[in-house]
């Protein structure tokens, strides 16, 4: 091919990218705007993360992200259709277009990212797999579970992690497969299994539902890395960018002191902090780059607050789950939570 032909092809490709018309790219943003509703996949029910309040409304840590995204894109944090999904049904639902984004305590792994064809847009909770069992078992470590029966959700990374842990430690177990966290809790309480394994955050959530939480203990071992976060389908970079930077806006807002209470005031009167001004749309054109208006991040933060506000409200030390920030603290506070800069 001649230099002129190559230059011409590059120019055409550049024009397509600029126009948002890349061949094969799904126009999810257009579809969501046309529908007037964001279809968000969440858990079937997990205290702190996705649950219904007294009025029957879905709420929680993962749900709050969906509301932030709906606010950013549609201008309404309640313009959402929540789809309850199990470990088995979540990926087919996303791949088929039944949902626009999945916000359901899902671990970012190589095969899910590459082989299944999804795009993880970031980590909203750094977790690890653990075990919960009755104190009546008389043991203090998961390494003492030789021959134990273990309740485990199918279609999750915990299945492989469980097999790896018992293999490495040279002990055996009997798997008791279940579909949802509610089924796992019921099976465990009915003593169909000796212990239950899932993400440590999920164990903390489940423990709060027991009649006597003190009769159960979470063993000290964390047997895996579970970086949890939202994901979208591959093939639509614009939509992935919107999902990614909505999460980043919540994290950056905490870092820069932008809260649910002050975000609109800060946006109305531009201050002296350039990154806040760029994020909130009083300087530059970051919203336009996403195909959104200048106020998209303002609405995302105003929906339920910044990352810290959402964490504390649903899963933090003063919530029923009582989780500390740990790795999920900002990098400036000893954690590893970090957003790229808004510039």
> Same domain, yes or no, for 110 and 252?
yes
pLDDT in tens, 283-294: 999 999 999 999
Which of these, 34, 103, 105, lies nearest to 73 by C-alpha position?
Answer: 34
Encode pLDDT of 70-125 as tens digits: 999 999 999 999 999 999 999 999 999 999 999 999 999 999 999 999 999 999 99
In a domain, 133, yes or no: yes
Same domain, yes or no: 201 and 284: no
Q: How does strand 118-120 pair with strand 231-233? A: antiparallel
Same domain, 184 and 248: no
- Is 161 a domain residue? yes
* CATH number of the structural domain spanning residue 148: 3.40.190.10
Do 150 and 272 fall within a single domain?
no
Count CB atoms within 10 A of the CB of residue 103. Answer: 31
Mean pLDDT of the chain: 91
Same domain, 301 and 249: yes
Which of 224, 252, 268 delimits the end of a domain? 224
Q: Is 122 in the same domain as 232? A: yes
Residues 242 and 116 in one domain: yes
Q: Domain for residue 252, yes or no?
A: yes
DSSP β-bridge partners for residue 83 = 41
Specify the number of domains making up the chain: 2
Is 4 a domain residue? no
CB contact at 8 A, 234 and 117: yes
Using one digit for the tens of pLDDT, what is the confidence trace for 317-335?
A: 999 999 999 999 999 999 9
8 located within any domain? no
Q: Provide the pLDDT confidence category of residue 26 given band limits of 50, 70 and 90.
A: low
15 has a pLDDT exceeding 50? no
Tell me the whole-structure pTM to 2 decimals: 0.87
Residues 167, 261: one domain? no
- Are 145 and 239 found together in one domain? no
pLDDT value at residue 42: 98
One domain, residues 108 and 234? yes
- Judge whether 56 lies within some domain: yes
DSSP assigned state of 156:
S
Q: How many whole angstroms separate alpha carbon 94 and alpha carbon 139? A: 41
Single out the residue in 157, 189, 224 at which a domain terminates.
Answer: 224
Examine the fold and report which residue of 194, 224, 254 is the final residue of a domain before the chain moves on. Answer: 224
**Residue 211: inside a domain, yes or no?**
yes
Residues 259, 149 share a domain: no
Is 233 found in the same domain as 285? yes
Q: With a cut of 60, say whether residue 264 has pLDDT above it.
A: yes
DSSP string, 110-137: HHHHHTS-EEE---SEEE-EEEEEEGGG
Residue 197 main-chain phi, psi, to 5 deg: -125, 135
CA-based angle 327:343:325, to the nearest 5? 15
Domain residues for 118? 28-126+228-333
Domain assignment present for 62 = yes
């Amino acid at each position: 091919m001649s230099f002129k032909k190559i230059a011409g092809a590059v120019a055409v490709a550049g024009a397509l990218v600029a126009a948002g018309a890349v061949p094969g790219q799904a126009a999810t943003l257009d579809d969501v705007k046309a529908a007037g509703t964001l279809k968000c996949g969440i858990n079937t029910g997990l205290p702190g993360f996705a649950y219904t309040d007294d009025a029957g409304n879905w709420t929680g840590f993962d749900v709050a992200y969906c509301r932030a995204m709906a606010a950013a894109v549609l201008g309404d944090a309640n313009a959402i259709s929540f789809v309850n999904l199990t470990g088995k049904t979540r990926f087919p639902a996303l791949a088929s277009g039944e949902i626009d984004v999945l916000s359901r305590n899902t671990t970012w792994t190589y095969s899910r990212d590459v082989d299944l064809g999804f795009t993880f847009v970031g980590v909203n909770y750094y977790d690890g797999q653990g075990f919960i069992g009755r104190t009546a078992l008389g043991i203090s470590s998961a390494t003492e579970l030789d021959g134990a029966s273990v309740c485990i959700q199918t279609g999750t990374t915990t299945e492989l992690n469980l097999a790896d842990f018992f293999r490495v430690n040279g002990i055996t177990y009997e798997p008791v497969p279940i579909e949802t966290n509610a089924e796992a809790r019921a099976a465990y309480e009915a003593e169909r299994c000796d212990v239950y394994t899932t993400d440590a955050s999920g164990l903390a959530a489940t423990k709060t539902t027991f009649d006597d939480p003190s009769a159960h203990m979470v063993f000290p071992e964390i047997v895996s890395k579970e970086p949890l976060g939202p994901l979208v389908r591959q093939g639509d970079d614009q939509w992935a960018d919107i999902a990614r930077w909505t999460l980043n806006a919540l994290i950056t807002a905490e870092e820069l002191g932008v809260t649910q209470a002050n975000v609109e005031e800060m946006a109305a009167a531009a201050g002296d902090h350039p990154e806040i001004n760029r994020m909130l749309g009083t300087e530059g054109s970051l919203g336009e780059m996403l195909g959104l208006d200048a106020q998209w991040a303002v609405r995302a933060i105003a929906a339920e607050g910044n990352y810290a506000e959402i964490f504390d409200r649903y899963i933090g030390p003063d919530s029923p789950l009582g989780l500390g920030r740990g790795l999920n603290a900002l990098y400036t506070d000893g954690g590893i939570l970090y957003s790229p800069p808004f510039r």
